[in-house]
């Protein structure tokens, strides 16, 4: 299959989002400098299902906020509009991922957690954006699985038969790999380069034209979370390190141990948190009906 | 409490934490004694790791299994000194945690 053909196929994707109308409206509002987070929050909160999904995500421990965020406008203030917009656009993809590939979901959550922690260690501004980039970095894999199931099965078989990394198998079967596919998709979402570049370059961050250090953080977060054996990225192996990128962010042994401790602690929280939020959203549903 | 890959978890081990679906549903409760059937079911759903209770002897066994798997995951990058150092750091960290 030629990349152009894949691109054509993916144009009519079923499971993946075209941009929800609400995001178009929010984008217009953001253009106006006078729009406040409160006003944006109000618009989002007209959609209860979206609001509950969004609050669940922003309260996930991978962002690491110690206090519960209970309103959308608060979430916008704390996380920034770009993060909120990304979570809205991708929420349907994550539902597909949660239902059909729990291992990849855990890998994504883990990578988000690691990326945020590593970004903070390097004093990168708005680490929540880097977490969000980590969360969506493997989005291309779920696109392949959902939209090109025959090719996806061929890829899985190749991984097994030849013992090669999933990305190599993708290149063999499709001629492109998941990060390129993801970049086609998210280029339509009007997201800032800080979020798009780490997704597109998470396997070869030194090739990024800007935000190399952020791409490098996502790259290393992916490596670290696979090394720790959290979740399932499609094959069991730690990917190759981009040494030029590593030079930009280099973590010492002591730093890495601190990072691992924080990741392992948060991973335990992630699950407890899911339970807590389940109770919360059940309670919320019953009050909203009255 | 120790995290263990589901591939290395064995019947008879006892869960130290609920295993949960992303929406918060409990797939298998804390204190459950694992059976081959439960392990197969969780593995089919896509659960990749579990937290289990362990006494000293079991802890040592789990650590050994985790270190073996760690090494396996680095198989394709074992010529990269930076990544080998990362592998050793992770192993060291796990050993330190075990010692308390």
Q: Give ipTM to 2 decimals.
A: 0.91
Assigned token pair, A127: 């680490």
Same domain, B14 and B4: yes
Read off the pLDDT of each residue in B78-98 and give the average, rounded to a whole number.
97
pLDDT at A16: 61
pLDDT at A283: 45
Give me the architecture of the A3-276 domain, per CATH: Orthogonal Bundle (1.10)
Read off the pLDDT of each residue in A168-191 and give the average, rounded to a whole number.
90
CATH number at residue B14: 3.90.105.10
Read off the pLDDT of each residue in B18-28 and give the average, rounded to a whole number.
86
Domain containing B62: what range? 54-100
Same domain, B70 and B93: yes
What distance in Å separates the CA atoms of residue A21 and residue B48, rounded to the nearest whole number? 36
Contacts of B5 in chain A (CB under 8 A): 229
pLDDT at A88: 87
What distance in Å separates the CA atoms of residue A13 and residue A140, rounded to the nearest whole number? 12
Same domain, B44 and B61: no
A4 C-beta neighbours (distance < 10 Å), count? 9
Nearest CA in chain A to B48: A231
Same domain, B95 and B65: yes
Radius of gyration from C-alpha coordinates of chain A: 19
Same domain, B39 and B58: no
- Nearest CB neighbour to B86, from listed A101, A230, A256: A256
Same domain, B42 and B64: no
Percentages helix, strand, coil for chain A (3-state, rounded to 5) are: 75, 0, 25
A229 and B89: CB-CB below 8 Å? no
Tell me, what DSSP letter sits at residue B2?
A: E
Final residue before a domain boundary, out of B15, B32, B53: B53
Same domain, B2 and B46: yes
Share of chain B above pLDDT 70, in %: 100
Contacts of A227 in chain B (CB under 8 A): 70, 73-74, 86-87, 90
Q: Provide CB contacts within 8 A for A124, sequence distance 6+.
A: A130, A213, A214, A217
Cβ(A173)–Cβ(A154) below 8 Å = yes
> What's the mean pLDDT when you consider all of chain A?
87
Who wins on pLDDT, A191 or A276?
A191
Q: What is the dihedral of CA A32, A33, A38, A42, to 10 degrees?
A: 0
Tell me, what DSSP letter sits at residue B33?
A: B
Cβ(A78)–Cβ(A53) below 8 Å = no
Domain extent listing, chain A? 3-276
Question: A50-59, A116-125, A191-200: which range is least confident on average?
Answer: A50-59
Final residue before a domain boundary, out of B36, B53, B70: B53
Read off the pLDDT of each residue in B3-32 and give the average, rounded to a whole number.
89
Read off the pLDDT of each residue in A73-82 and give the average, rounded to a whole number.
91
Same domain, B16 and B37: yes
pLDDT at A270: 62
Q: What is the pLDDT of residues A122-152, one digit of tens each?
A: 999 999 999 999 999 999 999 899 889 999 9
Read off the pLDDT of each residue in A12-32 and give the average, rounded to a whole number.
75
Assigned token pair, A256: 């890495």
The shortest C-alpha distance from A5 to chain B (Å) reads 31
End-to-end alpha-carbon separation of chain B, Å? 12
Q: Provide CB contacts within 8 A for B85, sequence distance 6+.
A: A253
Instruction: Name the H helices within chain B.
Output: 36-45, 56-73, 81-99
Q: What is the pLDDT of residues A240-266, one digit of tens each?
A: 999 999 999 999 999 999 999 999 988
Same domain, B69 and B48: no
Number of domains in chain B: 2
Same domain, B49 and B64: no
pLDDT at B34: 95
What distance in Å separates the CA atoms of residue A82 and residue A88, rounded to the nearest whole number? 10
Best of A108, A229, A232, A252 to mutate (most B CBs within 10 Å, chain B): A229
Same domain, B7 and B49: yes
Q: pLDDT at residue A210 above 90?
A: yes
A165 and B76: CB-CB below 8 Å? yes
Read off the pLDDT of each residue in A275-283 and give the average, rounded to a whole number.
49
Cβ(B42)–Cβ(B19) below 8 Å = yes
- Nearest CB neighbour to A257, from listed B80, B83, B89: B89
Same domain, B45 and B58: no
């Amino acid at each position: 299959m030629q990349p152009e053909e894949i691109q054509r196929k993916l144009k009519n994707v079923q499971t993946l989002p075209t941009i929800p109308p609400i995001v178009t409206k929010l984008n217009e509002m953001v253009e106006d400098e006078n729009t406040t987070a409160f006003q944006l929050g109000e618009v989002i909160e007209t959609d209860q299902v979206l609001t509950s999904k969004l609050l669940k995500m922003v309260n996930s421990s991978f962002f690491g906020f110690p206090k519960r965020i209970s309103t959308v406008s608060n979430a916008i203030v704390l996380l920034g509009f770009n993060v909120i917009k990304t979570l809205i656009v991708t929420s349907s993809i994550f539902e597909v991922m949660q239902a059909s590939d729990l291992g990849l979901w855990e890998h994504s959550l883990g990578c988000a957690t690691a990326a945020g922690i590593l970004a903070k260690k390097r004093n990168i501004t708005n680490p929540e954006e880097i977490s969000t980039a980590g969360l969506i970095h493997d989005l291309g894999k779920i696109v392949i699985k959902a939209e090109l199931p025959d090719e996806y099965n061929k890829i899985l078989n190749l991984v097994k038969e030849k013992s090669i990394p999933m990305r190599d198998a993708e290149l063999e079967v499709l001629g492109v790999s998941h990060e390129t596919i993801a970049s086609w998709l998210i280029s339509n979402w009007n997201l800032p380069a800080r979020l798009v570049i780490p997704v597109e370059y998470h396997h070869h961050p030194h090739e990024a034209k800007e935000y190399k250090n952020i791409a490098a953080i996502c790259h290393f977060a992916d490596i670290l979370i696979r090394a720790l054996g959290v979740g399932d990225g499609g094959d069991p192996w730690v990917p190759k390190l981009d040494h030029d990128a590593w030079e930009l962010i280099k973590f010492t042994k002591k730093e890495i141990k601190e990072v691992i401790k924080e990741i392992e602690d948060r991973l335990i929280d992630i699950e407890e948190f899911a339970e807590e939020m389940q109770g919360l959203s059940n309670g919320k549903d019953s009050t909203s009906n009255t | 409490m120790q995290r263990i890959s589901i591939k290395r978890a064995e019947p008879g081990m006892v869960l130290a934490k609920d295993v949960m679906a992303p929406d918060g549903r409990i797939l298998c409760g804390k204190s459950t004694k694992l059976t081959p059937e439960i392990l197969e079911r969780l593995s089919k759903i896509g659960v990749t790791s579990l937290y289990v209770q362990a006494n000293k002897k079991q802890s040592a066994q789990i650590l050994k299994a985790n270190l073996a798997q760690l090494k396996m995951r680095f198989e394709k990058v074992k010529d990269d000194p930076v990544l080998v150092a990362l592998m050793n750091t992770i192993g060291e960290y796990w050993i330190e945690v075990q010692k308390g």
